[in-house]
Structure 1
Amino acid sequence: MEKPVTLTEKRPVTVKPEASRLRRFNDWFHLWVGIASGIPVIIISLTGALLVFEHEILEMSRSWWKVEIPADATPLPPSVIRSRVAEQLPEMKVRRLWYYGEGRPVKITPDNSDSLIFVSPYTGRVLALEDHENVFEFIEEGHFHLWLPDKIGTQVVSWSTAVFFFLLVTGMVLWWPKKWSGRDVKQAFTIKWKARFKRINYDLHNVLGFYTLSLAVIMAFTGLMMGFAFFNKSVLKMLGGQDGSPEVTVIDDGPETVPATLEGKVDHIWKLVTTEMGEFEKDQISIHFPKEDGKFIYACTDMYHGTWRELYFDIHTLALLSTSQSKIAEDTPANWLRRSNFSLHVGAFGGLLTKWLFFFASLVCATLPVTGFYIWWGKRRKKPGKKGGTRLRTVKGR
């Protein structure tokens, strides 16, 4: 009886060309540097997502936030608000007031207390006393310092943001389809939900990373503007920014008749800004009584979609000084970016729509280190024998 004949057939397998040094470095950087910066990026992203809706959450948590508007009532000027608060809380030194607009309170930040005072703009009645430190103070500490000492934490956050910015670039290189054919394009833009978890995780990392790339770049770039003074100055200089002149000049004369008292001067500025100078949300204004040795009266207006306009008035003549900001639409590109950086960072520039987009983008950014690590871990556990090379097939004869 003949023995079975075993035939061994060699089937050549196409060997992928070796990647370039630049591509290998890109892969190495994206993997190892991404793993090293993973935890800070997760914390920064999650806390950033919460801070996007900080003001909305605080407003909803305050039962007294919506103020009843008496019939034919108008907001009281700063001097009257200050005097009425002094009657109720004589120990508080009231100097800085923030009017939040119609039907909302005035916030007062006393010089000698950590408490915030909220009063009715129509009656001057104190509505609430609130500790300056709340849960969002804790979240901000994590976002800006990772709950570390300020100097150390700021550096860690800044450099982690810089690393994340470059990871976005290297990630785009890894995502880029090798061929823009139907299958490759579909894999690059869609998540295969019916696949195994390993494939779903891969798609979550690549596909969601791509869709949030532009928003993540904006968040990282504006974060770098906040974290590194040299980067901030370099970008603004490229846009034509110049250092401010130390000489303060008058750019608009004050009124012909100047009120005799400081209270009268502050009230005049308040009325001028809320009726004439303000462009957006005119009834929202922050105004300060100057310190004893102060040389100007400060007011802030046009607080709209995360931007604002600061104004400085001479304390004697009430003339508008050159240290004031112009209307944002009329400002230089460098000053526009300087004033809009915060708005771009939190997604406030387009209202609630962009805030929601930035909120979800921040959540996706928090998942990228996790899904990326799982991809790497899965490759480490990959069984041997699945790599390219010569595959042997054994055929048994009869």
Structure 2
Amino acid sequence: MKKTFRKIHLWLAVPFGLIITIICFTGALLVFEDQVTQLTNRHLYYVESPGSQPLPVGTLVEKVESQLTKGATITGVTIYPQPDRSYQVNLSAPKGAAVYIDPYTGEVLGQSQRTPFFRTVFMLHRWLLDSQPADGGIFWGKRITGISTLLFVIILLSGIVIWWPRSRKGLKNGIQIALRKGKARFWHDLHAAGGIYVLLLVLVMALTGLTWSFDWYKNAFYTLFGVETTAPAKGPAHKEKSPQGPQPGTTTEATAPVTPFACWQQVYNQVAAENPDRLKIEITDGTASVSNNRYGNIRGTDRYTFDPQSGQITGASLYKDTGNSGKIRGWIYSVHTGAWGGNLTRIIWFLAALLGATLPLTGYYLWIKRLYRKRHNRAVH
């Protein structure tokens, strides 16, 4: 049986090994993208001399709006609890663009998008630098990475069968990487034992990553966890609050805000008071999202709705009350990237992805060495 699995392992790995190496290596680079970006552009994300009290959110957003070029609009603002963090004002165009502003002075610190380096790494990781055809044709880059990842799962599983020891002594030898028994032994152990060490983590990365490659796989993956793949109709928020504004039949003076952003500070104050342990609060027109999942689903949020005119909170949908369908996407991303447990799991995922990237390379070395040995033996005889 092992002979059959060796053939499966080899003849799947040989044509797709380099692609698997690229996927694993670029995935490792993306693990700390946010941290590296903030470190290399610290002047955008942090304020050197925090003041005593930030300016009102509406005032800050208006300052940004007055400097926007034609065609771009403000879609929201992200506020962090750390006093030395700048505010992130999100823009409609280009996609993913944001302006960072000093919350104490109103100074626009600059605009940031995904860096060219990480944009290239991401496109290489997901699509091998290919792009979606305008005519709706086959997206070959996405297709090839998806097929390669799927075959990587089979390669990993066949590798378990090949490695599986027959005795306790064999198990001991199978998990050791010899450093003083020659180069050939070292590369063999790095491939075999190293593959076993990272097998589970790399397998998890591959199985979660496939949800972005194939719809049939995503549907099956969601079904496995009891999640409906069709989006349910949106119902009312879990917690409804009666508006405290004027009731029908009463007359009051008009108190409409001067600008669309005038009530955003009021909304922030209310939401922040209810969520002292928040990571960040993002406010858009009529919605406030609170991120407070430090460990686990990093995309988990509590959502509040508010009246854009008065700033009155009208409802809340809490993450803890959200069904599986609302949580699974965030969990897939958190587990795939290793962000679910903070920097510790990021480091583990980074190292596992790097070692995973070496597996095809060490496999190529062993295969070529074996071919050379066979040819040499034939020449001798």
Measure, in 1, the Cα distance between the counterparts of 2:272 and 2:100.
20
**Structure 1 residues 67 and 247, CA, compared in 2 at 3 Å: closer, same or farther?**
closer
Report the secondary structure of 1:304's partner residue.
coil
Secondary structure (helix, strand or coil) at the match of 2:301 reads: strand
Number of the residue aligned with 2:252? none
RMSD: 2.7
C-alpha separation in 1, matches of 2:62 and 2:32: 34
1:62 offset after TM fit, Å? 1.4
| Alignment of structure 1 residues 308-387 onto 2, 5 Å | 308-309=300-301, 311=303, 313=305, 315=307, 318-320=313-315, 324=317, 326-328=318-320, 331-333=322-324, 335-383=326-374
The amino acid that maps onto 1:338 is R
- Summarize deviations over 1:316-375 as a string: whole Å, max 9, x none: 674337xx5x325x5545544332111111111111111111111111111111111111
Counterpart among 272, 280, 287 of residue 283 in structure 2: 287
SS in structure 1 of the partner of residue 261 of structure 2: helix
Aligned counterpart in structure 1 of residue 109 of structure 2, from 120, 127, 141: 127
Q: Residue 160 and residue 278 in structure 1: after superposition, are their counterparts in 2 closer, same or farther (change >3 A)? A: farther
1:299 to 283, 289, 293: 289
Name the residue aligned to 1:270. 268
Cα distance in structure 2, aligned partners of 1:333 and 1:94: 32
The residue number in structure 1 matching 2:47 is 67
- 2:79–2:282 contact (8 Å) kept in structure 1: yes
Does the 8 Å contact 1:88/1:126 carry over to 2?
no
Q: Which runs of 5+ in 1 are unaligned?
A: 1-19, 290-295, 388-398
Q: What is the 5 A alignment of 1:1-398?
A: 20=1, 23-64=2-43, 65-74=45-54, 76-89=55-68, 91=70, 93-102=73-82, 103-113=84-94, 116-150=98-132, 151-181=139-169, 184-242=170-228, 243-254=230-241, 256-257=243-244, 260-261=256-257, 262-277=260-275, 280-281=278-279, 284-289=280-285, 296-297=286-287, 299-302=289-292, 304-305=294-295, 306-309=298-301, 311=303, 313=305, 315=307, 318-320=313-315, 324=317, 326-328=318-320, 331-333=322-324, 335-383=326-374
Measure the CA separation in 1 of the matches of 2:27 and 2:375.
42
Counterpart of 2:161 in structure 1: which amino acid? V
Summarize deviations over 1:69-89 as a string: whole Å, max 9, x none: 544324x44322211223444
Q: Which amino acid aligns with 1:252?
A: K
Secondary structure (helix, strand or coil) at the match of 2:292 reads strand
Q: Would you say the 8 A contact 2:289–2:304 is kept in 1? A: yes
- C-alpha separation in 2, matches of 1:310 and 1:264: 23
| Contact 1:34–1:167 (8 Å) recurs in 2 | yes
Distance 1:275 1:159, change over 3 A: farther
Identity %: 25
Separation (CA, whole Å) in 2 of partners of 1:57 and 1:146: 22
Cα distance in 2, alignment partners of residues 40 and 275 from structure 1: 49
Larger radius of gyration: 1
User: What's the CA shift string for 1:172-213, capped at 9, x where partnerless?
Assistant: 1111112222xx223211111111211111000011111111
Conserved 8 A contact 1:105-1:119: yes
Q: Is the 8 A contact 1:69 1:122 kept in 2?
A: no
The Cα of 1:250 is off from its aligned counterpart by: 3.7
Secondary structure class of the residue paired with 1:187:
helix
The alpha-carbon deviation at position 124 of structure 1 amounts to 2.0
76-85 vs 360-369, greater mean Cα deviation: 76-85
Relative distance call for 1:233 and 1:177 in structure 2 (3 A) is same
Higher relative contact order (CA 8 A, sep 6+): 1
Asked whether the equivalents of residues 99 and 121 of structure 1 are also in contact (C-alpha less than 8 Å), the reply is no
253 and 353 in structure 1: CA distance in 2 versus 1, 3 angstrom threshold = same
Q: After alignment, is 353-362 or 257-266 more displaced?
A: 257-266
Identify unmatched segments of 5+ residues in structure 2: 133-138, 246-254
Alpha-carbon distance in 2 for matches of 1:213, 1:357: 13
Q: Write the letter of the residue equivalent to 1:144.
A: R
Going from structure 1 to structure 2, the CA distance change for 1:153 and 1:271 (only over 3 Å counts) comes to farther
Q: CA deviation at 1:108?
A: 2.2
Q: Look up the SS of the partner of 1:95 in the other structure.
A: strand
> Whole-Å Cα distance in 2 between the matches of residues 297 and 383 of structure 1?
68
Alignment partners' CA distance in 1, 2:376 and 2:20: 36
Closer/same/farther in 2, CA of residues 204 and 247 from structure 1, 3 Å limit: closer
Shift of 1:273: 2.6
Distance in 1 (alpha carbons) for counterparts of 2:102 and 2:302: 24
Paired residues, what number? 351
Residues 290, 302 of structure 2: 8 Å contact kept: yes
1:8 aligns with none
Give SS of 2:99's match: strand
Q: CA deviation at 1:53?
A: 0.5
* TM-score, scaled relative to structure 2: 0.82
